[in-house]
Amino acid sequence: MGKIPSINEQMDLIRQGVEEIISEEELIKKLEYAKAEDEPVIVKLGCDPSVPDLHIGHAIVLRKLRHFQDLGHQAVLVIGDFTGMIGDPSGKSKTRPQLTYQEVRDNADTYVEQASVILDVDKLKIVFNSEWLGEMTFKDVITLAGHYTVARMLERDDFENRYKNEVPISIHEFLYPLAQGMDSVKLKADVELGGTDQKFNLIVGRNLQRAYSQDPQVIITTPLLEGTDGVEKMSKSYRNYIGITESPGEMYGRTMSIPDTLIERYFEFATEVPPSELSMIKQQLMDKSVNPRDLKRQLAREIVTIYHSEKAALEAEKEFDRIFISKDIPESIEEYRIGPEPVALLQVIVDSGLVSSKREGRRLVEQGAVRLDGEKITDFHYTISVKNKVILKVGKRRFLRLVP
RNA sequence: GGGGAGGUGGCAGAGCGGUCAAAUGCACCAGACUGUAAAUCUGGCGGCGAAAGCCUUCGGUGGUUCAAAUCCAUCUCUCCCCA
């Protein structure tokens, strides 16, 4: 590692877009040591193989890991296959079906594949925690558990709240942070990354390393991004996420649907815009010198560009403008064959999958959301017979080309 | 082992014999407006039906009743307190 950047330069990059570093002094020490000894710092990130689809919220922490890679450090991705095979740690959900070995492997593959958009996979060390956790005996586990107390476990906000609100916490949930901490011990991690929701677990890892006479890891937390609804955290279970494998059009549109108040955060955490530009954007948002819509357009382009290409971003933008600004029809519309016989329009809407029930279709007609070739349909008994192609439009963004 | 409180729609959370397809908030969908799928306002938000109405839903099952999310029995899961 001859050309390692200076500690200051490293810290500048590391500090970008993080919530908290515990502690900076320790990190600097580790970096200094690494530089002096020409030994990379070991940076750990754990992932949950039960959710294979990544969204741009996950990307924040992945990007941070990438930063460490760029600085010449050793990134380690820990696939939590062991914990994944046992079940769900976040007590609320019911018995999530346990994943089989094969499912976990497949998910892990998908994860790495998707993460490769952000990480340098060639330099990435990938490990499965079943390797060591699966080897532990019950006695080992008890010994491990002996390093922690219930009171300290209850320090975790989530546990504390659930305890207070009489929401069940099962014993095995206490073991998850310990298991995760064990990963750090095994890997002799210098740094562990995670979302702010992981802070507690990361600290447990730190404490366990101490218990095992290791130099405790530095923990770095990254913010959890709000979803497109602007209310909940971005998560697959609410449909408020932007998946990193989504089509450019979908990605662009979903970005445009975030509340204006989120523009700044998205710029800061979901894109690669340099700090100088970021501060300019913040300024523009504050003094309202630029229409927020235009900033959001820029944001949407940035995001699509990261996961697709600039070209795709521009095309997506064009399409978006077409539909929502010019109120035009999309460039390409799916065709749906209905034959020359007269059919109830409602039936067509349901059969084609545009809406899920006649009831819903009817509501939409009543609300004036259904148009045929631009003409509003007001009668839900409307019967259609197609001689030439017709454009069926439901709401603002559902289109179908009906062909005989 | 004993005592008590609960399981309601995507989530949170009311209801506690009929007026309950189930308040309210969030999410979601649509319309208006607009600067965008932003904000705001309005409407909708189980299914079939033109409608009347009918069917399925309040942890599972079985009852009581003209009528049950609401009462009873039982099963199951959860929480709290005492030991």
Q: How far apart are the C-alpha atoms of A172 and A314, rounded to whole Å? A: 49
Domains of chain A, first to last: 7-222 (3.40.50.620), 236-324 (1.10.240.10), 335-403 (3.10.290.10)
Query: Vertex A188, ends A186 and A194: CA angle to 5°?
Result: 95
- Contacting residues 110-139/A vs strand B (CB within 7 A): none
pLDDT digits (tens, 9 = 90+) for A208-233: 999 999 999 999 999 999 999 998 89
Return d(Cα A353, Cα A331) in angstroms, integer: 20
Average pLDDT of the residues of chain A: 89
Asked whether the whole model's pTM tops 0.80, one would answer: yes
Residue A32 host element (H or E): helix A24-37
A229 touches strand B (CB under 7 A): yes
A383 touches strand B (CB under 7 A): no
**Is the Cβ atom of A290 within 7 Å of strand B at any atom?**
no
Straight-line distance from CA A78 to C1' B6, in Å?
Answer: 40
Nucleotide at minimal C1' distance from the A291 CA: B35
- Between CA A88 and C1' B62 the distance (Å) reads 35
| Contact status, residue A83 vs residue A129, Cβ threshold 8 Å | yes
In chain A, which stretches have pLDDT less than 50?
1-2, 88-96
Q: Phi and psi for A254 in degrees, rounded to 5?
A: -65, -35
User: Cβ atoms within 10 A of the Cβ of A13, count?
Assistant: 15
Q: CA nearest A115: which of A64, A40, A181?
A: A64
* CB of A318 within 7 Å of some strand B atom: no
Using a 7 Å CB cutoff, list residues 238-277 of A near strand B.
238-240, 249-250, 252-254, 256-261
A341 touches strand B (CB under 7 A): no
What is the distance in angstroms measured between the alpha-carbon CA of A78 and the sugar C1' of B36? Answer: 40
pLDDT digits (tens, 9 = 90+) for A186-199: 999 999 999 998 99
Q: What is the structure's pLDDT at A97?
A: 52
- Protein residue closest to B35, using CA and C1': A293
* Contact flag, residue A369 CB and nucleic strand B, below 7 A: yes
Q: Is the CB of A320 under 7 A from strand B?
A: yes
pLDDT value, residue A1: 47
Q: Determine whether the distance from the CB of A70 to the nearest atom of strand B is below 7 Å.
A: no
Structure confidence at residue A176 (pLDDT):
85
Residues 158-217 of A with CB under 7 A from strand B: 163, 165-170
Å: A316 CA to B39 C1':
24
pLDDT of residue A98: 59
Q: For residue range A123-169, list pLDDT tens digits in order.
A: 999 999 999 999 999 999 989 989 998 888 888 887 887 777 777 77
Q: How far apart are CA A295 and CA A256, in angstroms?
A: 10
Q: How far is the CA of A366 from the C1' of B21 (A)?
A: 20
Handedness of CA A7, A9, A14, A16 (dihedral sign): positive
Query: Is the CB atom of residue A330 positioned under 7 angstroms from any atom of strand B?
Result: no
